[in-house]
Amino acid sequence: VWSQKAVKEAKPVGKVHIAATSESTNFDRIPRPDDIRYSANPAYVHITTNNTIYGTQWRTEPAVPSGVPLVADTSSDMYSRPIDVQKYGLIYAGAQKNLGPSGVVLVIIRNDMVEAGSKSIPTMLQYRTHAAENSLYNTPPTFGIYVMGEVFKWIQAEGGLGAMAERNQAKAQLLYDFIDESEFFRGTAQTQDRSLMNVCFRAPSEELEAKFIGEATKRGLDGLKGHRSAGGMRASIYNACPRRSVEALVAFMKEFERSNRGAAAALKQPAI
Amino acid sequence: VWSQKAVKEAKPVGKVHIAATSESTNFDRIPRPDDIRYSANPAYVHITTNNTIYGTQWRTEPAVPSGVPLVADTSSDMYSRPIDVQKYGLIYAGAQKNLGPSGVVLVIIRNDMVEAGSKSIPTMLQYRTHAAENSLYNTPPTFGIYVMGEVFKWIQAEGGLGAMAERNQAKAQLLYDFIDESEFFRGTAQTQDRSLMNVCFRAPSEELEAKFIGEATKRGLDGLKGHRSAGGMRASIYNACPRRSVEALVAFMKEFERSNRGAAAALKQPAI
């Protein structure tokens, strides 16, 4: 969804080539190296590092042709793990997942990319405008920037990005391990591409999914409904989500599975 | 300054005609009706209702050719007084003066203007995008919107826009009356165009201005330095500034004038 938006915005200003997509399998995986076909002389290569809707995540950056800048929308996994900024020409991340309140975007851009940008697009959309003015060309979203600063201090106090990565890995593992051993729930993303931020899973029927989400919400386990394009359930376990919340979710999933085994088994009977 | 920015952004997408400007007198006034020369068939007429830097303000909307939409940047006086939205095709206002924190913009736009906008500009800059999605096309700046709602409730509880206008008129009058009777301070904007939001004034010399600003700051009367393009002093007395702050400023100005009359008189002596 997010790369499609990037494609849409790029089309009026340049030629767009889709180097790889997992659309044919409903975006259940990250493209394999062999799936990627770059155009002859790409100006840049764009990826979205984490797919919030289908629950997939790039574990490592794709190989790009020599000298071609990698551009990444890292909105939903920025600072959930270390990031090697030297591999990127441009990183942009809406704050609202791991960084702070909505309404502010973190951008890390190489100086040559600042210079290379078009001068015929609106002033506010040119990175050079903000680079030249230290992000003070306009009155910036001060509250959001302040909160981001506080979040950065919190990340450092908690042990930095390495510690965040370990914690997020462990949280996701708890959930995926249970989903894999469950005979009731199943994950939707391919195993090796599963997101550590958004854990997407299904129950045996849409009725049971609605029941699960309703009962979970009553227990204070809120926001579990999957995105409307994906259906099912989604647990978003960003930096701010503590391990005990994930433990509570797994405990509830176990309980729900026990109570609804009968209904699930009935679904497997052939209709009369 | 703000209209010049609007001119700069409009140029890549259309022809720009400057219908009137007070640049020749350093923006010390609002154009008189006779100064305004519209082009033959304007797509729209743009004004900035309040000039924060030079301290001028449109008291009423300019007459525009029949059927031509008036577009206004009302960032610095929105909801400081009643506004007849029917006179406008488009009103836009950055929140950070009277409405709420920076990082959110209030837009009031006529349906036909939504439809009339270019479809070749970036999606986020098309008003139709936000109109179609009830301002939820992207994750909006939730905190800023929430605070704006609280400010709107506060304005209503205080008596509404009529009460705001009376209060702002009275606050500005206090300051302008003193400036007019002072033999030390002088206002910079022409009397009939003075802003009720930003009161700009000068002292007899730049040295005395620096001294005034320094001493005022020590008294807790902060932010009085004029914009670097205008020099001098500027008291910004938006909705949130209470009358007692203006009274404190006037009291300090009187005291400063008494203590520095000698220095001012010396300036009037011919140099030896």
Compare CB distances from B122 to A94, A96, A125 and report the shortest one's residue: A125
Q: CB contact, 8 Å: A134 with chain B?
A: no
- CA of B136 vs chain A CAs: smallest distance (Å): 12
Rounded mean pLDDT, A192-210 = 97
State the DSSP H helix or E strand holding residue B213, giving kind and residue range, or none if neither: helix B206-218
**This prediction's pTM:** 0.91
pLDDT of residue B271: 62
- The CA distance from B55 to B200, in Å, is 6
- Residue listed under structure tokens 């702002």: B168
Query: Is-catalytic flag, A2?
Result: yes
Rounded mean pLDDT, A105-111 = 97
Contacts of A142 in chain B (CB under 8 A): 101-103
- The CA distance from A49 to A65, in Å, is 18
Residue A70 sits at φ, ψ, to 5 deg, of -95, 130
Q: Is the ipTM of this complex over 0.85?
A: yes
Bridge pairing between strands B90-94 and B70-73: parallel
Chain B: residue whose CA lies nearest to A123:
B9
- The CA distance from B270 to B272, in Å, is 6
Rounded mean pLDDT, A35-59 = 97
pLDDT of residue B272: 61
pLDDT of residue A267: 83
Chain A: residue whose CA lies nearest to B147:
A143
Left, alpha or beta for B13 (phi > 0: left; psi -120 to 50: alpha)? alpha
Q: CB contact, 8 Å: B96 with chain A?
A: yes
Judge: B140–A94 Cβ closer than 8 Å, yes or no. no
pLDDT band at A126 (very low <50, low <70, confident <90, very high): very high
Judge: B101–A8 Cβ closer than 8 Å, yes or no. no
Residues 6+ apart with CB under 8 A from B131: B109, B111, B114
Give the tens place of pLDDT for each residue, A18-44.
999 999 999 999 999 999 999 999 999
- Percent of chain A beyond pLDDT 70? 99
Query: Is-catalytic flag, A58?
Result: no
pLDDT of residue B265: 84
What is the average pLDDT value for chain A, to the nearest integer? 96
- pLDDT exceeds 80 at position A152: yes
The DSSP result for A76-95, as a single string, is TTTTSS---GGG-SEEEEET
Tell me how far apart the terminal alpha carbons of chain A are, to the nearest angstrom: 40
The stretches in chain B having pLDDT less than 70 are: 270-272
Query: Is-catalytic flag, A180?
Result: no
In A, residues 101-120, which contact B (CB 8 Å cutoff)?
Answer: 101-104, 120
Compare CB distances from B139 to A94, A141, A143 and report the shortest one's residue: A94
Q: From the candidates B28, B73, B77, B193, which is the catalytic residue?
A: B73
**If you count them, how many residues does chain A have?**
272
In B, residues 138-167, which contact A (CB 8 Å cutoff)?
Answer: 138-144
Judge: A140–B104 Cβ closer than 8 Å, yes or no. no
User: With b meaning 16 or more CB within 10 Å and e meaning fewer, what string describes B63-100?
Assistant: ebeeeebbbbbbbbbbbbbebeeeebbbbbbbbbbbbb
The amino acid at residue B142 is: T
pLDDT of residue A272: 62
Give the tens place of pLDDT for each residue, A168-181.
999 999 999 999 99
- The CA distance from B242 to B170, in Å, is 11
Compare CB distances from B139 to A5, A96, A120 and report the shortest one's residue: A96
pLDDT of residue B268: 77
Rounded mean pLDDT, A141-148 = 97
pLDDT of residue B18: 97
